[in-house]
Amino acid sequence: DQQVKQNSPSLSVQEGRISILNCDYTNSMFDYFLWYKKYPAEGPTFLISISSIKDKNEDGRFTVFLNKSAKHLSLHIVPSQPGDSAVYFCAASEGTGNQFYFGTGTSLTVIP
């Protein structure tokens, strides 16, 4: 049973526009969330995290929003750049240091 879901397998965005990647989870005990970015032939790299005590976390062009009541989080990339083209995975866990559950990933293509 997939506890973390990314319902959009792919997304295409024009360079300079906003990219919004969505993620839903089913386990209300999840309280720590991360986004990873993966290029082909490389392992995922950490992008940004958020804990359930916050509803927003920003790091440069990347902002993650958390809606606990809807069990939904989203990653906003503004402005999108061609180098952002990659597969993005969201992940969730109960606290830090515990097993992470990953979504199926969304492949983002930023068109120059």
Partner 1 sequence: KAGVTQTPRYLIKTRGQQVTLSCSPISGHRSVSWYQQTPGQGLQFLFEYFSETQRNKGNFPGRFSGRQFSNSRSEMNVSTLELGDSALYLCASSSTVDGYTFGSGTRLTVV
What residues make contact with partner 1 under the rule CB under 8 A? 2, 6, 9, 34, 36, 41-46, 49, 89, 91, 96-105
- What is the C-alpha to C-alpha distance for residues 45 and 31, in angstroms, rounded to an integer? 20
At residue 84, φ and ψ (nearest 5 deg) are -80, -10
Cβ 81 to partner 1, closest distance in Å?
22
Q: Which is nearer to partner 1, 57 or 79 (CB)?
A: 57
- Taking the complex as a whole, the smallest distance from the CB of residue 91 to partner 1 amounts, in Å, to 8
User: Could you tell me which of 111, 55, 54 has the C-alpha nearest to residue 85?
Assistant: 111
